[in-house]
Amino acid sequence: MAAGLRFDGGSVVVTSGPSAKARARVVGAMPALLDVVLRRNLVRSFLTGRIRIGGDPFFLLRLLPFIAEPKNAGGAS
């Protein structure tokens, strides 16, 4: 499965399939990508090769605000 994200003004458009004009790519199996989105084992997944990035890694840093925040295990806000 492949999906693309296109940033169009103030919106994000999800498309089916990869884009030939992508500025950056993140590749991995669905469980590894889900871990990244949920901020679980983000660095470990990258260092162990479960996910791979290509293109402009600095552009990917701009996507961090879209990634879910981890839940506070201690219960404090």
Whether residue 57 is contained in a domain is answered as yes
Spatial separation of the C-alpha atoms in residues 34 and 32, rounded to whole Å: 5
Containing structural domain, residue 40: 25-65
Whether residue 61 is contained in a domain is answered as yes
Query: Which residue type occupies 43?
Result: V
The pLDDT value given to residue 48: 92
pTM to 2 decimals?
A: 0.64
Higher pLDDT, 54 or 8: 54
The pLDDT value given to residue 12: 79
Spatial separation of the C-alpha atoms in residues 51 and 1, rounded to whole Å: 14
Select from 31, 37, 46 the least CA-distant residue to 14: 37
- Tell me what the mean pLDDT of segment 23-51 comes to: 85
Domains contained in the chain, number = 1
Select from 51, 19, 49, 56 the least CA-distant residue to 38: 51
Contact 51, 45 (CB under 8 A): yes
Q: What is the pLDDT of residues 44-77, one digit of tens each?
A: 888 999 989 888 888 888 877 777 665 555 555 4
* pLDDT mean across residues, the chain: 79
Whether residue 3 is contained in a domain is answered as no
